[in-house]
Structures are given as structure tokens and as C-alpha cells.
Amino acid sequence: MRAKGTGVYVMDFFLREDQRIFKDTFRRFAETEIAPLVEEAEETETFPLQLFPQMGKLGYLCPRYSEKYGGAEIDKVSEVLMREEISRVSQGIASSWSAHSHLGSFPVYHWGSEEQKQKYLLPAMRGEKIFAFGLTEPNAGSDVKAIETTARRDGDGYVINGRKIFITNGNICDFLTLIAYTDKSRGYRGISIFLVEKGTPGFIVTRKLKKEGVRSSETAELLFEDCRIPARNLIGEEGSFYRVMETLNEGRIGVAGNCVGMAQGAYEAAIKYARERVQFGRPIAQFQAIAFKLADMATEIDAARLLVLRAAWMMDQGKNPIQEASMAKLFASEVAVRVSKEAMQIHGGYGQMREFSVGRFHRDALVYVVGEGTSEIQRQIIAKQMGLGG
């Protein structure tokens, strides 16, 4: 199927009919309901909160989860198709959606108690409450084991102390899924997962962060000072490092889908401009220098999409595609940077103007060669899976 007006074939030759329908349906939603909100959200650096209940009613929040809790039970392939469509319109909005629909809620859905699911997951899936995921710290990003936040058992509860930074939805969340050490003497095996509610004494939003990219996704720095939570807010049992890593690994495939969406959005803007912009008596798309750029962009996007769909398909088959997930995230994120950069070049001086979307795509793409695991970390994971790394 050739995407209308782009000259690019959308890789759907092995997609089921329901997957194609879902992709097309969500594309229409993204274009009609999300796109009109993007300009104001970017300018004000605020997330349009009305989207959460709106998407919740349609089953677009936490769509991978069971119908028992209000989910759509879509597979991983359908999820990355959905992610591509939302990021094609706005990665900032996609980032807040992802922090809620995957990172923050994933541990609760998979390892939380039924009581936790009823109290936290159900209102989140309806869009009545918002999730965030508290992992990154000033001194711990790619090195998860280096986190310093602690949760000390004290009677019938835990007392949390520490600091988190770059937390998507951190200042607008109702629930925070927090990663902290319960026993540092056990090394990384002493890392556990907790639920912390907004308004809990000692849970402090110290500042909202101003960013170059993903501006419509609100991001905050958080402080925990003797923040006491009940013991029932522990997700699963103490010592859940591998559950944290499972959350991140599945998330990489999703983020890779987001990156394909950013690249596709930048490409579509570039080819539209190149067909309309006339210089020396003809559209610049007819000049070989521009046509070759667009050809390379289209090829790289298709290659990235195939890597992402392969990793998602493997996950749907019950496999654990650690290497394939990192390959998809590495390649797709770097393609998004290259394609958006070339899109700006094709736009010439207009590429520097805020009224054109290509600059936003490029700023947002740069976030994802760092966020969700840097390109260097992805290469390290791939090398280790090949038996080359330590």
C-alpha cells in the first residue's frame, strides 16, 4: 500500500486486516483530534490534558492490556503502528502518552496485586488519572544500577529518600511508579518498584524542566524527603531489577516505532515542500540533489520500519528480542535524526522557522538518541548479545 502523496510504500504486506484497520482508524484520530492541539501545546510547553479522558473512552490508553481492565488487548505490532501515527503528528504528545500507557502502568499491570490494579490501573486506563515512571536520577541514567534513591522498610510502610530527574509527566501525574533500592547490600538485586501517589507528604515536584525537544510533554525534577508510603504500595516483591529491565526492553520497541513516526512526519513535510517550492523555473524536487536526498530518506524509513515490525512481531510470538529491540531502537532513532536534518536542509531558510514542523521533528528526534537508552547503550547491548561485550 502506497502512503497517499508520499511515494513511500507502507510496510503492511504481512499485516492482518484488523491491524491495518486499527492503524488507519488511529491515523484519522491523530490527524483530527491531536494535530489541532500541537501548535499551542508546543508554544506553551503544556500537555493538552483533555486528551487523556478522550483517548481513554476510545481504548487508546494502555491499549495492550486486558479487556478485563478496559484495555483493547492489541498486539505489539498494532501498538507500534499506533505509536508511529501519533509521533507522525507530535512526539511531545506521544511521549506523555507513552509514559502513561507503558512505562508507568506496565509494572502495575504485569506484577501488581488485584487491589493495585483496581485502585491505580483502572482510572488510568479511563484517562481519569495520569501515570509517570520514576527511574532516572542526576547521577544515574543509562546505568540503572547506579540509582541512589532508597526505600527503607519501617513498620507497616516504606520511607523513601532520593531525587529523580527528567521524569515525563512528573508534574502532572497522579501516580508515580518509582524505582528505588530496598537493600543496597544485595547490589542490583536490591532494586524494587513502588507506587507513590500525588500529595503524599515528602513527594515534592521541585521544578518543571524547560526542554529543547518534546516541548508538549511535561517533564519534571522530583524530590523525596522522608516520604512514607504503605507497604501495600510495593509492586510484586522486593528485588525486581529484572522486571524493571523487562519494562525498558519492551519500551524500546515502542519508542523505535515513535522514531519511525517522527522520520515519516519529517519526510512527508519535506516532499510536500520540495514539490511546491519552485526555483530556477521548476519544483526543487526535480533537481537530482534534492531527489536523491528524498530517495535516501524514504529508503531509511522503510528499513527502520521493517526492523521495528520484526522486533514487535517477535515479541508477539512470545520471544525475548533483546538484540532485535536494541537494533530497532538504535537504527530508528538515528534515522529520525538524519531524516529530520535533511528535511530542514530541503526547506532552506524556512527550515529554521517555527511555523514549519521540520524543526520540531528534528528537536524531538535528538531526544531519542539519548532518551530510553542512548545509542551507545544500544550498541553495547547488541554487542553483548553477539558475545562481544562484557
Round the CA-based radius of gyration of the chain to a whole number and report it.
Answer: 21
Q: Where are the alpha helices (DSSP H) in the chain?
A: 17-29, 35-44, 51-57, 76-89, 91-98, 106-111, 114-116, 122-125, 241-276, 288-316, 322-347, 358-367, 375-385
Helix (H, G, I), strand (E, B) or coil at 352: helix
Q: What is the DSSP string of 196-208?
A: EETT-TTEEEEEE
Beta-ladder partners of 194 = 178, 234
CA distance from start to end of the chain: 43
The verdict on whether 324 is a catalytic residue reads: no
Q: How far is CA 14 from CA 1, 4, 77, 309, in A?
A: 11, 19, 11, 10
| Cα gap 108→114, rounded to integer Å | 9
Q: Which helix (H) or strand (E) holds 167?
A: strand 157-168
**Cβ neighbours for 146, distance < 8 A, ≥ 6 positions apart:** 137, 139, 140
Kindly name the residue from 137, 250, 372, 376 that is annotated as catalytic. 372
Q: Which residue has the cell 516532499?
A: 271
Catalytic residues: 372
